[in-house]
Amino acid sequence: MTQTEKNGKSILIVEDDRDLAESIGMYLELEGYQVTTATNAISCYVELYNSTFDLALLDLSLPDQDGLILARYLRNNTQTAIMVLSARSTIEDRRMGYDAGAHVFIAKPVDFGELSGSIAALLDSMGKDSQTQQTADTKPQEERWLMLRSDWDLVSPSGAHARLTAKEWDLLVALSARCNKMVSRESILKTLGYTNNEYGHRSLESILYRLRKKTSDMGANPVKTFHGNGYGFMAPLVVI
Protein backbone atom coordinates (compact mmCIF):
# COMPACT_ATOMS: atom_id res chain seq x y z
CA MET A 1 0.00 0.00 0.00
CA THR A 2 1.52 3.30 -1.12
CA GLN A 3 1.50 6.57 0.81
CA THR A 4 -1.21 7.88 -1.52
CA GLU A 5 -3.37 4.82 -0.86
CA LYS A 6 -2.94 5.24 2.90
CA ASN A 7 -4.23 8.82 2.74
CA GLY A 8 -7.91 8.81 3.63
CA LYS A 9 -7.80 5.43 5.40
CA SER A 10 -9.18 5.86 8.91
CA ILE A 11 -8.06 3.88 11.94
CA LEU A 12 -9.75 3.72 15.35
CA ILE A 13 -7.33 2.84 18.16
CA VAL A 14 -9.07 1.42 21.24
CA GLU A 15 -6.42 1.26 23.97
CA ASP A 16 -6.66 2.22 27.65
CA ASP A 17 -2.91 2.84 27.95
CA ARG A 18 -2.92 6.50 26.91
CA ASP A 19 0.83 6.68 26.34
CA LEU A 20 0.81 3.62 24.09
CA ALA A 21 -2.28 4.83 22.22
CA GLU A 22 -0.66 8.21 21.64
CA SER A 23 2.60 6.65 20.45
CA ILE A 24 0.86 4.30 18.01
CA GLY A 25 -1.40 7.10 16.82
CA MET A 26 1.50 9.46 16.13
CA TYR A 27 3.39 6.75 14.25
CA LEU A 28 0.40 5.84 12.09
CA GLU A 29 -0.35 9.50 11.35
CA LEU A 30 3.22 9.89 10.11
CA GLU A 31 2.52 6.86 7.90
CA GLY A 32 -0.38 8.76 6.34
CA TYR A 33 -3.42 7.38 8.17
CA GLN A 34 -6.25 9.33 9.79
CA VAL A 35 -6.28 8.26 13.44
CA THR A 36 -8.93 8.48 16.16
CA THR A 37 -8.29 7.22 19.71
CA ALA A 38 -10.69 5.81 22.30
CA THR A 39 -9.48 4.81 25.77
CA ASN A 40 -12.47 2.66 26.73
CA ALA A 41 -15.43 0.83 25.21
CA ILE A 42 -17.95 3.61 25.85
CA SER A 43 -15.91 6.21 23.98
CA CYS A 44 -15.37 3.64 21.22
CA TYR A 45 -19.12 3.17 20.74
CA VAL A 46 -19.53 6.96 20.61
CA GLU A 47 -16.89 7.21 17.87
CA LEU A 48 -18.54 4.36 15.93
CA TYR A 49 -21.91 6.11 16.18
CA ASN A 50 -20.47 9.35 14.77
CA SER A 51 -18.04 7.99 12.16
CA THR A 52 -17.06 4.98 10.08
CA PHE A 53 -13.56 3.50 10.12
CA ASP A 54 -11.57 1.34 7.76
CA LEU A 55 -9.80 -0.48 10.60
CA ALA A 56 -10.11 -0.82 14.37
CA LEU A 57 -7.05 -1.64 16.47
CA LEU A 58 -8.39 -3.23 19.67
CA ASP A 59 -6.90 -3.95 23.05
CA LEU A 60 -8.77 -6.77 24.79
CA SER A 61 -8.25 -5.61 28.39
CA LEU A 62 -10.40 -2.49 28.51
CA PRO A 63 -11.54 -1.03 31.85
CA ASP A 64 -15.28 -1.07 31.16
CA GLN A 65 -15.85 -4.00 28.76
CA ASP A 66 -13.98 -7.01 27.44
CA GLY A 67 -12.54 -6.20 24.03
CA LEU A 68 -13.96 -9.47 22.68
CA ILE A 69 -17.48 -8.08 23.08
CA LEU A 70 -16.43 -4.99 21.18
CA ALA A 71 -14.91 -7.13 18.43
CA ARG A 72 -18.19 -9.04 18.05
CA TYR A 73 -20.08 -5.76 17.80
CA LEU A 74 -17.77 -4.54 15.06
CA ARG A 75 -18.07 -7.83 13.18
CA ASN A 76 -21.87 -7.86 13.32
CA ASN A 77 -22.59 -4.16 12.76
CA THR A 78 -19.82 -2.65 10.64
CA GLN A 79 -17.56 -3.32 7.66
CA THR A 80 -14.50 -2.33 9.71
CA ALA A 81 -11.39 -4.52 9.56
CA ILE A 82 -10.52 -5.77 13.05
CA MET A 83 -6.98 -6.10 14.37
CA VAL A 84 -6.39 -7.18 17.97
CA LEU A 85 -3.29 -5.87 19.76
CA SER A 86 -3.10 -7.44 23.20
CA ALA A 87 -0.84 -8.79 25.92
CA ARG A 88 -3.35 -11.64 26.23
CA SER A 89 -1.72 -13.83 23.61
CA THR A 90 -2.09 -17.49 24.56
CA ILE A 91 -3.42 -19.92 21.96
CA GLU A 92 -6.82 -19.77 23.66
CA ASP A 93 -6.76 -15.95 23.64
CA ARG A 94 -6.01 -16.01 19.91
CA ARG A 95 -8.77 -18.54 19.29
CA MET A 96 -11.30 -16.39 21.14
CA GLY A 97 -10.08 -13.29 19.29
CA TYR A 98 -10.57 -14.88 15.89
CA ASP A 99 -13.92 -16.33 16.96
CA ALA A 100 -15.01 -12.82 17.99
CA GLY A 101 -14.19 -11.45 14.55
CA ALA A 102 -10.53 -10.44 14.51
CA HIS A 103 -8.84 -10.62 11.12
CA VAL A 104 -5.35 -10.32 12.63
CA PHE A 105 -4.07 -10.90 16.18
CA ILE A 106 -0.78 -9.28 17.24
CA ALA A 107 0.80 -9.81 20.66
CA LYS A 108 2.23 -6.99 22.75
CA PRO A 109 4.87 -5.64 22.87
CA VAL A 110 4.78 -4.82 19.18
CA ASP A 111 7.26 -3.37 16.74
CA PHE A 112 5.65 -0.32 15.14
CA GLY A 113 7.10 -1.16 11.74
CA GLU A 114 5.60 -4.65 11.90
CA LEU A 115 2.28 -3.19 13.05
CA SER A 116 2.20 -0.71 10.17
CA GLY A 117 3.02 -3.46 7.68
CA SER A 118 0.26 -5.68 9.05
CA ILE A 119 -2.26 -2.83 8.88
CA ALA A 120 -1.32 -2.02 5.29
CA ALA A 121 -1.56 -5.68 4.26
CA LEU A 122 -4.95 -6.15 5.96
CA LEU A 123 -6.44 -2.99 4.45
CA ASP A 124 -5.09 -3.97 1.04
CA SER A 125 -6.63 -7.43 1.38
CA MET A 126 -9.99 -6.03 2.53
CA GLY A 127 -10.02 -3.57 -0.36
CA LYS A 128 -9.35 -6.31 -2.88
CA ASP A 129 -12.11 -8.45 -1.38
CA SER A 130 -14.55 -5.55 -1.75
CA GLN A 131 -13.52 -4.95 -5.35
CA THR A 132 -13.85 -8.65 -6.12
CA GLN A 133 -17.45 -8.67 -4.87
CA GLN A 134 -18.36 -5.55 -6.85
CA THR A 135 -16.63 -6.31 -10.17
CA ALA A 136 -18.47 -8.44 -12.69
CA ASP A 137 -15.41 -9.93 -14.34
CA THR A 138 -13.83 -11.30 -11.19
CA LYS A 139 -13.40 -15.00 -10.46
CA PRO A 140 -16.55 -16.76 -9.29
CA GLN A 141 -16.88 -17.25 -5.56
CA GLU A 142 -16.60 -21.04 -5.81
CA GLU A 143 -12.95 -20.66 -6.87
CA ARG A 144 -12.06 -19.18 -3.51
CA TRP A 145 -10.72 -20.91 -0.45
CA LEU A 146 -12.53 -19.90 2.74
CA MET A 147 -11.50 -19.78 6.40
CA LEU A 148 -14.52 -20.08 8.71
CA ARG A 149 -14.04 -18.34 12.06
CA SER A 150 -17.06 -20.12 13.54
CA ASP A 151 -15.55 -23.59 13.11
CA TRP A 152 -11.84 -22.93 12.49
CA ASP A 153 -12.31 -24.76 9.19
CA LEU A 154 -10.55 -24.36 5.87
CA VAL A 155 -12.92 -24.87 2.93
CA SER A 156 -11.65 -25.69 -0.56
CA PRO A 157 -13.25 -24.43 -3.80
CA SER A 158 -14.82 -27.87 -4.17
CA GLY A 159 -16.44 -27.62 -0.73
CA ALA A 160 -14.12 -29.97 1.19
CA HIS A 161 -13.52 -29.04 4.84
CA ALA A 162 -10.48 -29.43 7.10
CA ARG A 163 -10.24 -28.39 10.75
CA LEU A 164 -7.25 -26.13 11.47
CA THR A 165 -5.06 -25.91 14.55
CA ALA A 166 -4.37 -22.48 16.09
CA LYS A 167 -0.92 -22.27 14.50
CA GLU A 168 -2.24 -23.37 11.09
CA TRP A 169 -4.92 -20.70 11.36
CA ASP A 170 -2.39 -17.99 12.26
CA LEU A 171 -0.17 -19.05 9.36
CA LEU A 172 -3.03 -18.87 6.86
CA VAL A 173 -4.16 -15.49 8.20
CA ALA A 174 -0.65 -14.19 7.53
CA LEU A 175 -0.65 -15.66 4.00
CA SER A 176 -4.21 -14.45 3.25
CA ALA A 177 -3.09 -10.82 3.56
CA ARG A 178 -0.91 -11.31 0.46
CA CYS A 179 -2.59 -13.98 -1.65
CA ASN A 180 -0.58 -15.03 -4.72
CA LYS A 181 2.46 -13.24 -3.32
CA MET A 182 5.35 -14.20 -1.07
CA VAL A 183 5.26 -13.55 2.67
CA SER A 184 8.74 -13.58 4.16
CA ARG A 185 9.80 -16.38 6.49
CA GLU A 186 10.82 -13.81 9.12
CA SER A 187 7.37 -12.18 9.07
CA ILE A 188 5.63 -15.54 9.44
CA LEU A 189 7.88 -16.56 12.33
CA LYS A 190 6.96 -13.33 14.15
CA THR A 191 3.26 -13.92 13.53
CA LEU A 192 3.53 -17.43 14.98
CA GLY A 193 5.57 -16.26 17.96
CA TYR A 194 8.70 -18.17 16.97
CA THR A 195 12.30 -17.00 17.11
CA ASN A 196 14.25 -16.81 13.86
CA ASN A 197 16.51 -19.76 14.68
CA GLU A 198 16.74 -23.48 13.94
CA TYR A 199 13.96 -24.35 16.40
CA GLY A 200 11.64 -21.73 14.92
CA HIS A 201 12.37 -22.89 11.36
CA ARG A 202 11.71 -26.53 12.24
CA SER A 203 8.46 -25.63 14.00
CA LEU A 204 7.31 -23.66 10.96
CA GLU A 205 8.21 -26.51 8.61
CA SER A 206 6.19 -28.89 10.79
CA ILE A 207 3.12 -26.63 10.57
CA LEU A 208 3.55 -26.31 6.81
CA TYR A 209 3.85 -30.08 6.42
CA ARG A 210 0.58 -30.68 8.30
CA LEU A 211 -1.19 -27.90 6.41
CA ARG A 212 -0.05 -29.19 3.03
CA LYS A 213 -1.19 -32.69 3.98
CA LYS A 214 -4.65 -31.31 4.70
CA THR A 215 -4.90 -29.29 1.48
CA SER A 216 -3.58 -32.25 -0.51
CA ASP A 217 -6.31 -34.45 0.96
CA MET A 218 -8.76 -31.74 -0.16
CA GLY A 219 -7.52 -32.06 -3.74
CA ALA A 220 -5.07 -29.17 -4.11
CA ASN A 221 -1.84 -27.70 -2.77
CA PRO A 222 -1.98 -23.89 -2.96
CA VAL A 223 0.83 -23.31 -0.42
CA LYS A 224 4.01 -22.48 -2.34
CA THR A 225 7.58 -22.32 -1.05
CA PHE A 226 9.75 -19.46 -2.30
CA HIS A 227 13.02 -21.22 -1.55
CA GLY A 228 15.18 -19.36 0.92
CA ASN A 229 12.75 -16.46 1.19
CA GLY A 230 9.23 -17.32 2.30
CA TYR A 231 5.86 -18.81 1.43
CA GLY A 232 2.66 -17.89 -0.36
CA PHE A 233 -0.95 -19.02 -0.76
CA MET A 234 -1.40 -19.10 -4.52
CA ALA A 235 -5.19 -18.79 -4.67
CA PRO A 236 -7.88 -16.42 -3.36
CA LEU A 237 -8.28 -16.97 0.40
CA VAL A 238 -10.97 -15.17 2.39
CA VAL A 239 -11.60 -15.16 6.15
CA ILE A 240 -15.32 -15.08 7.01
- Cα–Cα distance, 56 to 35 (Å, whole number): 10
Domain with CATH 3.40.50.2300 in the chain: 3-129
What per-residue confidence (pLDDT) applies to 240?
73
CATH architecture of 3-129: 3-Layer(aba) Sandwich (3.40)
Contact assessment for residue 57 and residue 83, using Cβ atoms and an 8 Å cutoff: yes
Q: In the sheet that 183-184 helps form, which strands lie side by side, from edge to edge?
A: 183-184, 230-233, 223-226
Domain with CATH 1.10.10.10 in the chain: 139-239
Tens digit of pLDDT at every position of the chain (240 positions): 555 445 679 999 999 999 999 999 999 999 999 999 999 999 999 999 889 999 999 999 999 999 999 999 998 888 899 999 998 888 888 888 888 889 889 888 888 888 888 898 888 877 655 554 444 344 444 478 888 877 788 999 888 999 999 889 889 988 887 788 898 898 888 888 888 899 999 999 999 999 999 999 998 999 999 987 899 999 988 877
Longest distance between any two alpha carbons in the chain, whole Å:
50
What per-residue confidence (pLDDT) applies to 84?
94
Residue 37's beta-bridge partner residues? 13
**β-pairing, 230-233 with 183-184?**
antiparallel
Ramachandran region of residue 125, left (φ > 0), alpha (ψ -120 to 50) or beta? alpha
The listed CATH number (1.10.10.10, 1.10.3720.10, 3.30.413.10, 3.40.50.2300) that belongs to domain 139-239: 1.10.10.10
Q: What is the DSSP letter of 152?
A: T
What digits encode the pLDDT tens for the residues 184-194?
A: 898 888 888 88
Residue 239 burial by CB count (10 A; 0-12/13-18/19+): exposed, middle or buried? buried
Name 192's Cβ contacts closer than 8 Å, sequence gap at least 6: 167, 170, 171, 174, 203, 204, 207
Residue 146's beta-bridge partner residues? 155, 238
- Cα–Cα distance, 36 to 125 (Å, whole number): 22
Handedness of CA 34, 37, 41, 44 (dihedral sign): negative
Name 199's Cβ contacts closer than 8 Å, sequence gap at least 6: none
- What does the CA dihedral 75, 80, 81, 87 come to, rounded to 10 degrees? -70
